[in-house]
Chains A and B, each alone.
Chain A
Amino acid sequence: MNISGNTTVTGGTDVSVFERQQARIKWQQQQQQEQSFYNVNDNQFMGLVEIKPDPGLQYGWPDFSDGCQDQLISPLMVDHNVKKRKTHEDQKQKVVLKENGVKDKKSKGSSDEQSVETSSKDQKPKVVDAPKQDYIHVRARRGQATDSHSLAERVRREKISERMKYLQDLVPGCNKITGKAGMLDEIINYVQSLQKQVEFLSMKLATLQPRLDFDIDNLIMKEMFEVPTVAYSCDQAANSTYFQVNSILEMGNNPIEAMLRRSNGGPVSFNPETFVVSSCFNQMQPGVTWDADLQNLYRMEIQQGSSPIPFQPHKFTGSYGGSNLKMEL
């Protein structure tokens, strides 16, 4: 475990870096018990990964795996970062580098030196392989333990990986994708598709709109706002919507009911409809309770607009069933 590769520049630098990193890994395995974030496979760019976060700190940006390559290719950045690292570390580390040591700082410093020299040259082909693997792995704790910047770095990176995991749950079909780059691509595609869906649906709604009149809806919805907040306190119950519908019905002074009765008049009476609807709701699963309530709401609005509404409860249940299926799909 000879860590005296400071004199080498080109040529066998890869090997020496590798050796050094192997040494570091062994040291890590001795030291670390809790954290298991390391990927032993990305030895080759471990030293380079250290350099990577610094610009992230400066510019407030993580570069995900793509950025890793870019940074390595730009020697200017690397030089700058290495200088920064060197200022943070003790000066004597450089001195110790020249001796043999198994300690992390030395190895890190030496690897930094190495990486400065090698990054622009030989490491590129190897680095290309590494970022394909996984998220940017958290660096050795011991290596950065004394460095406040690297501590912050690590915390930041952990935060980011947490959020990426949360996003993985949100975006459907991302369970198989492990890389940050792939995840980001998926996220971008998903957001784009959602926005396009909104646009498409708004176009559809715009075509449907002139047919319907929303005049009384303001009042209805203001009233309806208050109702569900009461009802949803127990919305886990299977018959919650039934409860809601009944609560709407049974409120004696409910202006909705009064308005509906006034407007609907003869042909459509409120009670039997909602009675039928509520009987349908009883068979409903709790998961789609909101849907039934919404449909109730929409239905009432639509009744305001189009004057003669044929009383077709079976039709409504049919449509409800259809949309229920769509919901489940």
Chain B
Amino acid sequence: MSPQPSSTNPNSLKIQLAYQFLHNLNNLNSKRSNLATTHIRQRSNRVKIAAYASMAYVVGSRRAWSRAILRTIRNRRMLARNKRVDHKITHRPRSAKRRNPKRDYVDPNGNSGQEVKLRKLVPGVEKMDACGLLDETADYIKYLKTQVEVMKNLVDLYSTI
């Protein structure tokens, strides 16, 4: 679904993000038909997911953070389709696995601070080294920035019309 590979031209990036985002919004609206009935929080959560998904789709599999986002989206979709108790079961081992590597990272170096926080913020960088972490962070920031601008413009446009 993502368009041709993006140049580093910010304009084209914004356009791609915009298209992808609107596409995802449409999908959202078409799938969940009861817009009026669903709570505002659920709706805003879906829009948020659509925003992150659109970012990830535009980037594709090139980046660790985009892969992580796509993975969570697919997992979510699979879980939603299954709609079984497996939902709870799959969560537990995942969280247990997640906890341990974090502690290993924190304890030996005695570093409780910033890198751990950064790893929490940027998806998919849990096990990367510092170089990769900074790389992914930079990319993530770039896409987040443009996504925020796209959304701002959308909101502006809709609020004036």
**Cβ-defined contact, B130 with A184, below 8 A:** no
A1 to chain B, nearest CB (A): 35
27 A-B contacts, Cβ less than 8 Å apart? A61-B111, A61-B130, A66-B114, A67-B109, A160-B131, A163-B135, A170-B138, A181-B114, A188-B117, A191-B137, A195-B144, A197-B148, A203-B44, A205-B158, A206-B44, A208-B159, A217-B22, A224-B19, A229-B4, A235-B9, A290-B12, A290-B15, A294-B153, A302-B161, A319-B160, A322-B156, A326-B156
Majority SS of interface residues in chain A?
helix
**Cβ-defined contact, B155 with A184, below 8 A:** no
**Cβ-defined contact, B138 with A167, below 8 A:** yes
Which of B47-55, B79-87, B92-100 forms part of the interface with chain A? B47-55
Query: Is B26 on the interface with A (CB-CB < 8 A)?
Result: yes
**Cβ-defined contact, A221 with B15, below 8 A:** no
- Which of B109, B118, B142 is packed against the most chain A CB atoms within 10 Å? B109
Q: Which of B94-128 contact A (CB under 8 A)?
A: 105, 108-111, 113-115, 117-118, 121-122
The residues of A with any CB-CB pair to B shorter than 8 Å are: 55-56, 59-64, 66-67, 70-71, 73-74, 156, 159-160, 163-164, 166-167, 170-171, 181, 184-185, 187-188, 190-192, 194-195, 197-199, 201-212, 214-215, 217-218, 221, 224-225, 228-229, 232, 235, 289-291, 293-295, 297-299, 301-302, 315, 319, 322-323, 326-327
Per the bound structure, the CA–CA distance linking A4 and B135 in Å amounts to 44
Given the contacts A181-B114, A206-B44, A156 and B131 also touching, CB distance less than 8 Å = yes
Query: Is B11 on the interface with A (CB-CB < 8 A)?
Result: yes
**Cβ-defined contact, B115 with A184, below 8 A:** yes
**Cβ-defined contact, B108 with A55, below 8 A:** yes
**Cβ-defined contact, B156 with A163, below 8 A:** no
Q: Report B-chain residues with C-beta under 8 Å of the C-beta of A63.
A: 109, 111
**Cβ-defined contact, A194 with B141, below 8 A:** yes
- Which of A73, A232, A291 is packed against the most chain B CB atoms within 10 Å? A291
* Known interface pairs A167-B134, A192-B121, A210-B36; 18 further A-B residue pairs with C-beta atoms within 8 A, sorted by A's residue number: A61-B130, A71-B110, A181-B113, A190-B141, A199-B44, A202-B45, A203-B40, A203-B47, A208-B158, A209-B25, A214-B25, A218-B23, A221-B26, A290-B15, A294-B150, A295-B157, A319-B161, A326-B152
Interface residues on B, range: 35 or more
Q: Report B-chain residues with C-beta under 8 Å of the C-beta of A319.
A: 156-157, 160-161
Per the bound structure, the CA–CA distance linking A235 and B14 in Å amounts to 13
Closest chain A residue to B19 by CB distance? A221
**Cβ-defined contact, A209 with B117, below 8 A:** no
Contact partner of B138 (CB less than 8 A), chosen from A163, A194, A302, is A163
The residues of B with any CB-CB pair to A shorter than 8 Å are: 3-4, 9, 11-12, 14-15, 18-19, 22-23, 25-26, 29-30, 35-36, 40, 43-48, 50-52, 105, 108-111, 113-115, 117-118, 121-122, 129-131, 134-135, 137-138, 140-142, 144-145, 147-161
Per the bound structure, the CA–CA distance linking A207 and B43 in Å amounts to 8
**Cβ-defined contact, B105 with A61, below 8 A:** yes
Per the bound structure, the CA–CA distance linking A219 and B19 in Å amounts to 12
Given the contacts A67-B110, A221-B22, A322-B160, A294 and B141 also touching, CB distance less than 8 Å = no
Q: Report A-chain residues with C-beta under 8 Å of the C-beta of B131.
A: 156, 159-160, 163
**Cβ-defined contact, B26 with A218, below 8 A:** yes
Q: Report A-chain residues with C-beta under 8 Å of the C-beta of B45.
A: 202
Q: Report B-chain residues with C-beta under 8 Å of the C-beta of A166.
A: 138
Per the bound structure, the CA–CA distance linking A73 and B109 in Å amounts to 11
Q: Report A-chain residues with C-beta under 8 Å of the C-beta of B152.
A: 201, 326
Closest chain B residue to A172 by CB distance? B145
Contact partner of B48 (CB less than 8 A), chosen from A167, A199, A289, is A199
Given the contacts A187-B137, A191-B141, A202 and B114 also touching, CB distance less than 8 Å = no
Closest 8 CB pairs of A and B: A202-B47, A163-B134, A319-B160, A206-B44, A206-B43, A203-B44, A70-B110, A184-B114
